[in-house]
Amino acid sequence: MKNLKKILFVLLFLVVAFVGGMFFANKQTEPEISSTLIQNRIEQASDLVTTKYHYAKVGKFENSLSLNGWSIPLTNKNFILTFEGEIQLGTDLSKAEVEIKDSTIHVTVDKPTVISNSIDESSIEVYDETKNIFNPISVNDYKKFAVEQKETALSEAKKKGLMKTAQENTKKSVKEIISVIPDTDEYTIEVTFKE
């Protein structure tokens, strides 16, 4: 009977030690939520493209030679272009600042900026192109016109709320990046932009 009590005591001790060891081992392997951990995860996304804006435009180019502000007759040149392009906006997450206060993760990032604004060259169609021997159309005319059209498209997109959309998408993307880190579901995530 005495031996049975000793055996039961030893078995109980071993079970408690095993369960305790497993509990502490699990505690040690769980990642601790820290601003450094979150910052590293955010920085891995680097230049985050959050918004793409597709545009299709028709533009007319006109030009003539001039002398003292007067247009010279028979030197007019023009063409009409149709084309498609895409504006990409994003944020450089390597400059993100992370702070954890109580149960809130505060992330401050740069405001979204234009990463690219490009015209799809395969979409360009030229119409009504004049052949003027006194003032021929040059490659530079097309290049200059394309730059002007891209700036016009960007300006129109901004008027339609593109920057606001990009900010909302950036907030959503940063929250999604953080939410895949284990145990962050217990935190409120706030994303703000630097002034």
pLDDT band at 70 (very low <50, low <70, confident <90, very high): confident
pLDDT band at 9 (very low <50, low <70, confident <90, very high): low
In a domain, 14, yes or no: no
Residue 66 has a pLDDT of: 76
How many domains does the chain contain in total? 1
Distance CA 5, CA 1 (A): 6
pLDDT tens column, 72-82: 877 788 888 89
pTM summary value: 0.70
- β-sheet bridge partners, residue 61: 79
Helix (H, G, I), strand (E, B) or coil at 3: helix
Q: For the chain, what is the total number of helices (H) and then of strands (E)?
A: 4, 9
pLDDT band at 31 (very low <50, low <70, confident <90, very high): very low
Q: At what angle do helices 162-179 and 139-159 cross, to 10 degrees?
A: 70
In a domain, 19, yes or no: no
Mean pLDDT of 155-181: 93
In a domain, 3, yes or no: no
188-193 and 104-109: which strand pairing? parallel
In a domain, 10, yes or no: no
Whether 36 shows a pLDDT value over 50: the answer reads yes
Domain range for 87:
33-193
